[in-house]
Structure 1
Amino acid sequence: MQAPAAVVMVRPHHFHPNPETAADNAYQRSSGAPPTELARRAHAEVTEAAARIAQAGVRVHLFDDTSAPGQPGTPDSVFPNNWFSTHAGGHVALYPMYAPSRRRERRHDIIEQLKAQYRVQEVVDYSGLEQDGVFLEGTGAMVLDHIGRVAYTAQSHRANPVALERFCTHFQYEPLVFATADAAGQPCYHTNVMLCIGTGFAMGGFHMVSDAARRREVQERLWESGRTVIDLSPEQIGDFAANALELQGTAGPVLALSARAAASLTPAQRQAVEQHATLLPLAVPTIELAGGSVRCMLAGIHLAPRLGMQATQPPAAEFQTILAPSA
């Protein structure tokens, strides 16, 4: 339930760090590389990451970015987990996005492809809240404990309490909201940068939770769920160690995370994770310039496959590609 066996990924064609999100994303970095070189590297990194995840036995639905040069772009299209999520019982949620450019990431064709291959009972669309300046950026803003039904949420203007309450009421999660601050006193823009919840473990930058009592409550809720709780340092958070996602592979659970994140873990932390999941490091240094990492790149599929889909699963070394329309 916690670890999906399938994911949606989007391969970018015009990737670059988004100036609309730079003000509140402390993890975003500029690069001196030409835009065409950045785009080439990002395209290659996603292609390789998708292949590696598929080799682990996770079904990858790989879509290509449909933006074109000279038209309004979608520089963050590589992060689909922010604009939609899927849930057991056939439920899909569409989310209101803070940056105008990110609103263009929502794609009807991706939702229709999911409907064709999985049992979808309803699509709940919260995107109209954008007109009221109300935002909730999916499983970036919320880190969901699908087993305990808790939505861990760091306060920010990308996680509006009204939208969060609506989501939690409809999808039956308990909101657990907390204020955060980094070394500069700035709030964490997305919860999934500082917290990862797997089936048997959780990793978090708990030092970022501003209130000591609330910090203890967050940790206790994770401990009470039977998980091994791993505390991450500020440096490890900066290396995206918490921006990881547990997936269900054919040989057991794997933890998809960046090579940079994996390298930042201590031997004891690595051993604690590997009691529950095999580490799957992915090299995405260009993608990380945009202020997100591997978890942001993966929209987990928690839907039941339609009859016959499981029987036609591609071999582990392959993955399904949905090509962009020809220019």
Structure 2
Amino acid sequence: MFYAALGKTISMTKQRSRRILMIRPTTFRKNEETAVNNAFQQDASDSSDVLSQAQAEFDNLVEVLEKNLIDVTVISSIKEEDTPDALFPNNWLSFHYDGHVVLYPLFAENRRRERREEIIDQVSDNSYKPNNRLIDLTSYEDKALFLEGTGSMVLDRVHQICYAAIGPRTHQEVLDVWGERLGYKIVSFESHQNSHGDDLIYHTNVMMSIGTTWAAICVESIRDLVACEKILDQLMSSNKEIIDLSYEEIYGFGGNILEIENQRGESIIVMSETAFNALKVDTKTKLSRHGKIVFAPIPTIEKLGGGSVRCMIAELF
């Protein structure tokens, strides 16, 4: 909901959602089309049934979330479509407080088959149905320009600021259109995979996460000191406690975390067991001041999929 006051639009939103969407995989493997620019993906160590392992990890994660009173809607992917990354729905759609639903242009062609209108219908009411509530950016795929949802963008929903690391799956032109349509300020920058190479981080949400009162970010991955200072100043002016993540922490998926509100109105910070173990004691202490940390093991999904818990969740507003 939005209110006009003194000529400005003031967002009356929350940072965290009370409902989430997760897609249960019916196919799963290392996606050869995404591996070209996702340094977090690895090969399988054996020929065992990775689908069964991924499904068991998925089901256990859902159980852990529901035990913590998080409202989870689970929809299965379509086996015949052969969508190995379908359990990462946050890349192809996002939901917003004002009723908008956004469809995104995806880098990998086989990921484009994940987009299903019936998923939107199942989790939405009629307020999403008018054409002016659906923002379809998928035509940018024809220009090889991409923006992969809340993988590419880390959102400060309260202050309507979008932080985005430019890279092979996040293009400035699409970002600017998204910001104009949704009314967000865009803060874009480059984030590098390591301290010595030139390769860029594939998704912003592996090196940054924003909660109601905190922001976790891998500062050392941003080499442009002016851009880095701008980001930190913006976060501090938005009253966020800045939690600096190391490369070691983000390569353990310590940046791929998400704040959710449970049915008691409590702040829950969800992550994988890998992420929990990768985070330094001081980092976990700081996060714990802002919410309850909840984690579950998803090693197969992380190793082959190259994404963690935050990637598996589409927030519903």
Q: Same fold (TM over 0.5)?
A: yes
Mapping 1:178-193, distance limit 5 Å: 178-183=189-194, 184-193=197-206
Say whether residues 1:234 and 2:243 are aligned partners: no
Cross-structure match for 1:259: 273
- SS for the counterpart of 2:66 is helix
Say whether residues 1:143 and 2:154 are aligned partners: yes
Deviation at 1:145, TM superposition (A): 0.6
Which structure 2 residue ranges, 5 or more long, are not aligned?
Answer: 1-13
Judge conservation of contact 2:71–2:263 (CA < 8 Å) in 1.
Answer: no
Distance change >3 Å, CA 246–CA 120, structure 1 → 2:
farther
Instruction: Work out the CA distance in 1 between the residues paired with 2:34 and 2:183.
Output: 30
Judge conservation of contact 1:15–1:75 (CA < 8 Å) in 2.
Answer: yes
Root-mean-square deviation (Å):
1.4
Distance change >3 Å, CA 91–CA 28, structure 1 → 2:
same
Judge conservation of contact 1:90–1:120 (CA < 8 Å) in 2.
Answer: no
Deviation at 1:154, TM superposition (A): 0.3
Mapping 1:1-327, distance limit 5 Å: 1-34=14-47, 37-68=49-80, 72-116=81-125, 122-183=133-194, 184-251=197-264, 252-289=266-303, 290-302=305-317
Instruction: Work out the CA distance in 1 between the residues paired with 2:127 and 2:298.
Output: 29
Deviation at 1:206, TM superposition (A): 1.3
User: Residues 156-190 of structure 1, C-alpha deviation per residue, up to 9 Å, x if partnerless?
Assistant: 12111111111100101011010121223310000
Judge conservation of contact 1:92–1:120 (CA < 8 Å) in 2.
Answer: no
Instruction: Work out the CA distance in 2 between the residues paired with 1:50 and 1:118.
Output: 27
Q: Identity over the aligned pairs, expressed in percent?
A: 33
Instruction: Work out the CA distance in 1 between the residues paired with 2:36 and 2:168.
Output: 12
User: Residues 175-232 of structure 1, C-alpha deviation per residue, up to 9 Å, x if partnerless?
Assistant: 1010121223310000001000000111111111120111111112111111111101
Deviation at 1:120, TM superposition (A): 5.5
Moved over 6 A (4+): none
Which structure 1 residue ranges, 5 or more long, are not aligned?
Answer: 303-327
Deviation at 1:133, TM superposition (A): 1.4
Instruction: Work out the CA distance in 2 between the residues paired with 1:264 and 1:120.
Output: 42
- SS for the counterpart of 1:300 is strand
Q: Which amino acid aligns with 1:38?
A: V
Q: Which structure's relative contact order is higher, taking Cα pairs within 8 Å and 6+ residues apart?
A: 1
Q: Which amino acid aligns with 1:93?
A: V
Instruction: Work out the CA distance in 1 between the residues paired with 2:141 and 2:270.
Output: 31
Judge conservation of contact 2:37–2:168 (CA < 8 Å) in 1.
Answer: no
User: Residues 282-305 of structure 1, C-alpha deviation per residue, up to 9 Å, x if partnerless?
Assistant: 111111011110000000012xxx
- SS for the counterpart of 1:96 is coil
Q: Which moved more, 1:47-56 or 1:277-286?
A: 47-56
User: Residues 27-76 of structure 1, C-alpha deviation per residue, up to 9 Å, x if partnerless?
Assistant: 11111232x611001011111111211222221110111123xxx51110
Instruction: Work out the CA distance in 2 between the residues paired with 1:253 and 1:277.
Output: 5
- SS for the counterpart of 2:299 is coil
Instruction: Work out the CA distance in 1 between the residues paired with 2:127 and 2:25.
Output: 25
Instruction: Work out the CA distance in 1 between the residues paired with 2:193 and 2:77.
Output: 33
Q: Which moved more, 1:120-129 or 1:283-292?
A: 120-129
- SS for the counterpart of 2:188 is strand
Question: What TM-score does the superposition give when structure 2 sets the normalisation length?
Answer: 0.91
Question: What TM-score does the superposition give when structure 1 sets the normalisation length?
Answer: 0.88
Instruction: Work out the CA distance in 1 between the residues paired with 2:198 and 2:139.
Output: 32
Count of aligned pairs between the two proteins = 298
Instruction: Work out the CA distance in 2 between the residues paired with 1:21 and 1:265.
Output: 26
Q: Which amino acid aligns with 1:235?
A: E
